[in-house]
Amino acid sequence: MKPAPFDYVRPDSLAEACELLAGDDDARVIAGGQTLVPMLAMRLARPARLIDILRLPELAGIREEKGSVVVGATTRQAQAERDPIIRASVPMLARVLPWVGHPPTRNRGTVGGSIANGDPSAEIPLVAVTLSAEIMLAARTGPTSMPAEEFFIGPMVTSIDQGQCVRAIRFPVWPHRRIGVGFFEVSSRRSDFAFVAAAAQVALDEEGRCLDIALGLGGVADRPLRLDMSSLAGTVVDAASAADAINAACADLDAMSDLHASATYRRRVAGVLCLRALEQARDNAAAKPAKGAR
């Protein structure tokens, strides 16, 4: 099939892009196009106008700021996957990116595009919510931002208002020395959208006690979720205590059913993958040398 007719505009600045979006409620932003173009071809999306933001310099690049790493919205997923700043400072994102789509789609797909699409099964939104990232937005009235947990509000539904677009994602950098990450997902094929995905990050002190912990679930509910693991802070995390904390956090989990998996299956697998991801993150952190060790 071919897309329905649409106008194509390539603005010269981010301000111009926001003006165009504010003036047309039937316009859509395009950058990598790895999700939007197939939707256009199947006529699942029929915007009257596409606004191409890919070449806007304000939206590109990866940079370190005090206590955080900022990833521009049009940064290619493959670029982020190889970037040394991401590998050193946002290890969960580096761990997850090889599971995003396939190499050809990561070569064109953008980090901001995955965020803006808001698929509850997508890995990049899962990382953003798990790490309490900040979604930075551009608007005609000026830049603004919001926590990732507030940005995603339903399946492919976000808090973006008319006239706004994703400008960048700010990932916090944990200050600890011994940090480990874990990630597991279940899908029909490697790099397809996950039926269930779990991502964990753990920081340990020199005695192996938990200094900080983050655990998130994707593909289970209508948006990615960050689970409360605060009960494990200050403890030596073992299988029993981790399982207890996960069971408590998932007790009221509102899982969804679809043609891929039932809610019962998702709830059961969620607990298993969360435990595996948490143990993997703990073991990775424990394998790093303590301060002063040779």
Residues 147-157: tens digit of each pLDDT: 999 999 999 99
Say which range, 13-17, 137-141, 289-293, has the weakest mean pLDDT: 289-293
In the 3-class helix/strand/coil scheme, how is 150-194 assigned residue by residue?
HHEEECCEECCCCCEEEEEEEEECCCCCEEEEEEEEECCCCCCCC
Tell me, yes or no, whether 99 lies in a domain. Answer: yes
294 pLDDT band, cuts 50/70/90, is: very low
Residues 72 and 124 in one domain: yes
Residues 199 and 243 in one domain: yes
Q: Which of 151, 172, 193 is the last residue of a domain?
A: 172
In this prediction, residue 210 carries a pLDDT of 97
Q: Which of 52, 71, 88 is the last residue of a domain?
A: 52
220-232 pLDDT, tens digit per residue, is 999 999 999 999 9
In this prediction, residue 276 carries a pLDDT of 98
Q: How far apart are the first and last CA of the chain?
A: 61
In this prediction, residue 38 carries a pLDDT of 86
CATH code, domain carrying 15:
3.30.43.10
Tell me, yes or no, whether 163 lies in a domain. Answer: yes
Tell me, yes or no, whether 291 lies in a domain. Answer: no
Report pTM.
0.94
Tell me, yes or no, whether 280 lies in a domain. Answer: yes
Tell me, yes or no, whether 111 lies in a domain. Answer: yes
For residues 33 and 39, what is the distance between their CA atoms, to the nearest angstrom? 9
Residues 120 and 162 in one domain: yes
Mean pLDDT of 180-191: 90
In this prediction, residue 291 carries a pLDDT of 65
1 pLDDT band, cuts 50/70/90, is: low
Domain that holds residue 135: 57-172
Tell me, yes or no, whether 2 lies in a domain. Answer: no
Residues 102 and 207 in one domain: no
Which has more confidence, 97 or 27?
Answer: 97
Tell me, yes or no, whether 241 lies in a domain. Answer: yes
Q: How many domains does the chain have?
A: 3
For residues 141 and 15, what is the distance between their CA atoms, to the nearest angstrom? 9
CATH code, domain carrying 182:
3.30.390.50
The average confidence (pLDDT) of the chain is: 93
72-130 pLDDT, tens digit per residue, is 999 999 999 999 999 999 999 999 999 999 899 999 999 999 999 999 999 999 999 99
Mean pLDDT of 193-214: 96
- Name the DSSP letter for residue 110: B
CATH code, domain carrying 66:
3.30.465.10
Q: Which of 121, 138, 172 is the last residue of a domain?
A: 172
Mean pLDDT of 231-250: 96
In this prediction, residue 192 carries a pLDDT of 78
Residues 134 and 202 in one domain: no
- Name the DSSP letter for residue 259: S
